[in-house]
Each structure stands twice: as C-alpha cells, then as structure tokens.
Structure 1
Amino acid sequence: MNLFFGKAKTKTTAKDAIYKLRDTLDMLEKRQTYLEAKVENELKIAKANATKNRRVALMALKRKKAYESNIEKINGARMTIETQMMAIENANVNLETMGAMRAGAEAMKNIHGSMDINKVDATMDDIRDQMDVANEISDAISRPVGMGEELDEDDLLTELEELEQEELDAKMLETPAPAVYTPNVPTHEPERKQRVEDDEEEELEALKASMAF
C-alpha cells in the first residue's frame, strides 16, 4: 500500500500521451489567439496616442512586444509538441507493427513446432503409398471379370495371321483368271509358203520325167 508515498505511478501509454499532447496543443492555440488579440489592441492604443501622448503610446508598444515575444515562445512550444506527437504516433505504429510481426512469428513457431521435416517426409510417403493403392484398386475394378484365364497374346496374333491368310486365299480363288491375249497371226504367209513348196515339187517331178527319157 502507498499510504505514505502517494499514488503509485502508472505506465503512460502512447495513446494517453497523444491525448495529453493534443489537449496541451489546444490550450496553446487558444492562448496564442488571446495574445494576438492583445497585440492588435496594444497596436491600436499606440497608434491612437502616437501624437497625443507619447508615453502611453510607448507603453502600449512595450506591452505589444512582450505579447509578441510570448507568442513566439508558444509557436516554438506548439512546433515541439506537434513534432513529439508525430514521433509518438510513428513509434506507436512501429510498436503495433512489431507486435503483429512478433505474433505472426510466434504463430509460425507454434505451427512448425508440431511438425518437422521427417514428419513431413513420412506423411508424403504415406500419401504416395495410398495413391498407389488407390490406382491398383481402380485398375482391379475396371478389369473385366468372367473372361477365364488370361490368353496368350502370341497365340492370338498367330491365329489372327492365319485368318488373314485364309481371307486372302479366298479372295484369290474368287478372282477370275486374266484373259490371255492372243495376237492375230496373218494366214497368208503359210499359204504363200505352201505354193512355193508345190511349185518346187512340180519342177522336181518334171525333172525326173525328162531324165527318164
């Protein structure tokens, strides 16, 4: 308990600091507006008494200078506060960003903590094995049933070639034999040869008859 030492200090958050600085900035703006009005008023007094009462005019100008000096200080304070607010806002954004990034890193660490590369490889191996089993099951289901023992493909090819040869032989038997072309041989040449032979025979008989005499 803080009975003797007063109230314990609480940690100021960035949001609280920004609210406090904005309140102070509003107060300084109001103070500056008030002093500017005072400067205008003293300037009027100095102008009004410039020829009538120089002492009053000088006092008015002195007060005017004091107000203007105070306004310059307020402007400096306002600039400092605005710069500080911007720095706090940027720092708060960086803090929020860092917090989000840290949370993301922790989430990734928790996720990766439940698995390692060996577990991933084992899982992928299981997936591949199950895919192979699924493919084998699909092949077994798609294979026709009731076909008896598997036939030898070579025997089937041999039987197919025999059927093809029989088909070719049948087509050759059905096809008529091509006509044999016989050229027209002229007949006058043998007749002329026969006449020549007859004439030679007659001359031979006449020669025999003359020799007989």
Structure 2
Amino acid sequence: MWGYFFGTPKQQKELPKKAIVDLREHIQLLNKKQAHLQTQIDQQQQLAKRSLTQGNKNNAKTYLKKKKLYESQLDKLQSQIDSLEQQLYSIENANLNLETLKAMKQGASAMKNIHKGLDLDKVDDTMDEIREQVELNQEISEAISKPLIMQDELDEDELDQELELLESEQQQQQQAQAQSLGQAAAAVGAPAPAHAVSQPSIDLPSVPNVKLSGPEKASGQAEAEAQEDEEEDEDERALRELQAEMGL
C-alpha cells in the first residue's frame, strides 16, 4: 500500500533526478510561451501606432487593450518561471547534500572496516617491534664495521723486540759507512768525518745585474707609446661608432 503512494525504493532514489528534469523542461516551455507573448505585445503596439497614423482611434484602443492583456499574461508567466527556478534550485541543492552525505557515509564505513582489525595496543606492540629491529640492525652494522684484529690485541713485547732489531741494524749500517770513509781519508791523507758524510756543495750561477743601454731603453719606451696610441685609436673609433648610432 505504501509503495503505491510513495513508490519502490528504486523509484524513490530516481525521484529527485526526475523532478529536476521535469522542472527544467517546464521552465523551457514557459520561456518559449513568454517569447511568443512578447512578440504579440510588439505587434499590437505597432498596429496601434498604425491606426493612430490613419486616424482610427477606436482600432488603436482595441490593439492597446490586447497589448495589456498579453502583458498581464507575460507577468504571470514570469512569476511562474521564478517560482519554478527557485524550486529547481532547492531540489538540486538538496540532492547535492544527499549525495554528499552518502559519500561521507561510505567514507566512514570504509574507515570503520579498516580500523576493525586495529587497536592502540596492537599499534604500540608493532611500533615496539619495529624499534627493536632498528636497534638490532644498528648493532649488527657496528659489529660488521669493526676490524678483525684490534690494536689492543697486538703483543707489546713482540713490538719492542722488532723495534730494537731495527735500531741495531741502523747502528751497524752507520758504523760500516764510517769505517769505509775513514779508510778512504787515510789513503789521501785527509781527516775523515766521524759519523756523517759531508754532501758536496753546488754553486748556482748568479743572476747578472745588467742595466739596459740607451737604444734598448728607447726601444722599450717606443713600444709602450705605440701601444698607448693604439689603445687611444680604439677608444676614438668606439666613440665615433657610438656617435654615428646616436645620429650625432
């Protein structure tokens, strides 16, 4: 029984769209009727003017009465159009609100389904596990980056013995060099140095301090003056080109 008055759920869902379509079509029909009445008003106005020109006032008055009748109908049509447009705007706005509410409900339902398997305790546990794994990864990285043989694990006694052996070898080499130099010095009758070998000095040639003579100095000055004259010629040439561009 209620379906007879209000329709099925599917029909109720399509009702706003159908109402919007019907209202728009009826508004278009009234606009066409309004345009036709405006044409009739203009025609009656022209006929009244023609009758006055011909001196027939009675016909002119008849045309003016028809014009007033058409104007009255036109005003009523305009009122109807205004009412229908207001109703159309209200239905469209209400339908938009309904669709927005449906979208929000769907979004809320989706969020509810997403959060159905989640709670704060599970989130906290997951975050703790992540932190533990991050710390473990850092410890593993530090362990991998450590050298395989630590400096502290080296045998200090072994290092001391190797150092003494190295010093002994150096002393033996120095003594052998001193003995060979002493023998060479005794052969030539010159005193030999005790522990070191003197390096022969190398005399470097000194830089001559020569002053330029008169012709060379004059030649240098001439080249400098020629360069200055060339720079002045370039400046004058650039100035002349600029004056030519400016029309001076």
Q: TM-score, normalised by structure 2?
A: 0.55
Distance 1:7 1:105, change over 3 A: closer
For 1:75 and 1:118, how far apart are their aligned partners in 2?
66
- Asked if residue 86 in structure 1 is aligned to residue 54 in structure 2, the reply is no
Quote the residue 2:193 is aligned against: 179
Distance in 1 (CA, whole Å) between partners of 2:164 and 2:124 is 59
Alignment-derived partner of residue 31 in structure 2: 29
Whether 1:99 aligns to 2:102 is yes
Query: Partner of 2:193: helix, strand, or coil?
Result: coil
Change (3 A) 1:155 1:46: closer
Residue 140 of structure 1 and its aligned partner are, at CA, apart by 8.9
Moved more, 131-140 or 58-67: 131-140
**Deviation for aligned residue 1:133:** 6.2
Worse-superposed segment, 19-28 or 76-85: 76-85
Q: Which one-letter code corresponds to 2:170 in the other structure? A: K
1:173 partner letter: Q
Say which SS state the counterpart of residue 90 (structure 1) adopts: helix
The answer as to 2:111 corresponding to 1:108 is: yes
Residue 156 of structure 1 corresponds to: 154
- Displacement of 1:130 in angstroms is 4.8
C-alpha distance in 2 between matches for 1:77 and 1:26: 12
Deviation of the 1:137 alpha carbon = 7.6
> Bigger CA drift: 170-179 or 35-44?
170-179
Shift of 1:171: 2.6
- Cα distance, 1:24 vs. partner? 1.0
Q: Structure 1 162/64 Cα, relative in aligned 2: closer, same or farther at 3 Å?
A: farther
Alignment RMSD = 3.7
1:30-76 Cα deviation digits (max 9, x unpaired): 11122112212222332232244322221211110121122122223
Q: 1:8 aligns with which of 2, 5, 9?
A: 5
**Could you say what secondary structure the match of 1:179 adopts?**
coil
User: Aligned residue for 1:38?
Assistant: 40
Alpha-carbon distance between aligned partners in 2 of 1:108 and 1:8, rounded to the nearest angstrom: 37
Q: Between Structure 1 and Structure 2, how many residues are aligned?
A: 173
Q: CA shift at 1:180, angstroms?
A: 4.3
User: What is the aligned partner in structure 2 of residue 62 from structure 1?
Assistant: 65
1:62-101 Cα deviation digits (max 9, x unpaired): 1101211221222232233333333333333333233222
Greater alpha carbon shift after TM alignment, 107-116 vs 123-132: 123-132
Higher relative contact order by CA 8 Å / sep ≥ 6: 1 or 2?
1
Change (3 A) 1:30 1:94: same
Shift in Å, 1:28: 0.4
Cα distance in structure 2, aligned partners of 1:133 and 1:59: 104
Q: Give the distance between the partners of 1:119 and 1:49, measured in 2 at CA.
A: 95
Distance change >3 Å, CA 95–CA 161, structure 1 → 2: farther
Local SS of the residue matching 1:97: helix
Deviations 1:159-201 (A, max 9, x none): 33543443244334323469349xxxxxxxxxxxxxxxxxxxx
Match of residue 119, structure 1, among 119, 122, 126: 122
The alignment's TM-score, normalised by the length of structure 1, stands at 0.63
Tell which structure's C-alpha radius of gyration is larger.
Answer: 1
